[in-house]
């Protein structure tokens, strides 16, 4: 990690989510909710009318962004997110953040994620050792 200051933006992370990533995440996490892979089921219950990405998958991507920026998992002190909109399966999302404070060797970051239509799918914060 290079020297950071308030206002430093994290390099964005872009990720596509498709049926393969959804099924792989479902298998790894044990969350086999058909909302994430069955279009017929999702059409009946989804707020988007279609399949959506696992929320925790998007949190994992935000955490990956923070870990990369921090220089390793040992420097990540905290990551917290709130899911704001569903991420439609079959689209891409971009995750980013910005340093908002640095105090006593700890940087505070704001985090966000939005899918390709421009809707925010998550927002949050993180703290890293600097």
Q: Is 83 exposed, middle or buried (0-12, 13-18, 19+ CB in 10 A)?
A: middle
CA distances from 13 to 27, 33, 93 (A): 23, 26, 8
**Pairing status of strand 92-103 against strand 13-16:** antiparallel
Domains in the chain, start-ordered, CATH in brackets?
Answer: 13-18+52-129 (3.10.129.10)
Residue range 62-71, pLDDT digits in tens: 999 999 999 9
Report the chain's mean pLDDT, rounded to a whole number: 95
Residue range 79-129, pLDDT digits in tens: 999 999 999 999 999 999 999 999 999 999 999 999 999 999 999 999 999
């Amino acid at each position: 990690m290079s020297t950071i200051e308030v206002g430093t933006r994290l390099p964005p992370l872009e990720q596509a989510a498709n049926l393969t990533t959804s099924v792989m995440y479902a298998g790894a996490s044990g969350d086999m909710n058909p909302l994430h892979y069955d279009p017929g089921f999702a059409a009946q219950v989804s707020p988007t009318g279609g399949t959506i990405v696992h929320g925790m998958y998007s949190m994992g991507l935000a955490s990956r962004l923070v870990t990369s920026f921090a220089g390793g998992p040992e420097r990540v002190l905290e990551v917290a997110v709130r899911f704001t909109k569903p991420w439609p399966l079959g689209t891409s999302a971009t995750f980013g953040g910005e340093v908002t404070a640095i105090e006593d060797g700890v940087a505070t970051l704001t985090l966000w994620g939005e899918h390709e239509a421009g809707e925010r799918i998550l927002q949050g914060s993180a703290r890293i050792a600097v």
